[in-house]
Amino acid sequence: MAAPTPTTYSRTVGHYGFLSWNAVWANTDNLTTSVLVDLSAENYTNLVTVQRIKWIVTAGIEFTLLWDATSNEHILSSVLAPTEQQDIDFTWNGLDGVVKTAAGSTGDLVLTTTSAASADEISLYVWYRVD
């Protein structure tokens, strides 16, 4: 069997984008380097800045968001247990958001999972800017 195929919706208007991503597992196969924001598909291909992330997960699965780079750069990892919606606004107090600083590769926003089990689910919402 294979890891689930996520249901996605994304929209970029000018420099600003929104991504809705949902996956439900039927087995224990984890995702490795599943691309969420593909810079090569954007009109602006230099940089993705993550501005805000909301997510909801079931209790048994964890995910990690990374920048695709020569040495992948960590952005966020979920933790087991909180099954209510979580929200991080990286533009708080006038900040620009989170950008890739590691060298090399595409700069795409990617996701990996651990501890997957049948019926696990992740719903993820990402607001971003491309330059």
**Mean pLDDT, 10 residues at a time, over the chain (131 residues)?**
88 92 95 85 78 92 89 86 85 86 80 93 93 83
pLDDT at 1: 62
Widest pairwise Cα distance in the chain: 45
Note the pTM of the prediction, 2 decimals. 0.88
pLDDT at 73: 87
Counting Cα atoms < 13 Å in the Cβ hemisphere of 18 gives: 6
> Which tens digits make up the pLDDT trace of 100-112?
887 776 778 899 9
Instruction: Provide the b/e sequence for 70-104 (b: ≥16 CB within 10 Å).
Output: eebbebbebeeeeeeeeeeebeeeeeebbbbeeee
pLDDT at 83: 81
| The CATH classification of domain 7-130, taken from the options 2.60.120, 2.40.160, 3.40.50, 1.20.120 | 2.60.120
Cβ contact 124:75 at 8 Å: no
pLDDT at 81: 63
